[in-house]
Amino acid sequence: MYTYTRASFNATSGKQHPTYHSVGLMADYLLSKRTDIYVQGMYQHVGGDATGSVLDAAYVAGAAIVSSNRNQLLLRAGVRHFF
Sign of the C-alpha dihedral, residues 38, 62, 57, 2?
Answer: positive
DSSP 28-65: EEESSSSEEEEEEEEEEEEEE---SSGGGS---TT-SS
pTM of the model: 0.79
pLDDT for residue 46: 94
Residues 48-80: tens digit of each pLDDT: 888 888 888 898 887 888 898 999 999 999 999
Instruction: Name the residue type at position 69.
Output: N
Domain encompassing residue 20: 2-81
Neighbours of 67 (CB within 10 A): 18
pLDDT for residue 70: 93
pLDDT winner (highest mean) among 6-15, 32-41, 42-51: 32-41
Mean pLDDT taken over the chain: 91
Cβ atoms 53, 16 nearer than 8 A: no
pLDDT for residue 12: 74
Number of domains present in the structure of the chain = 1
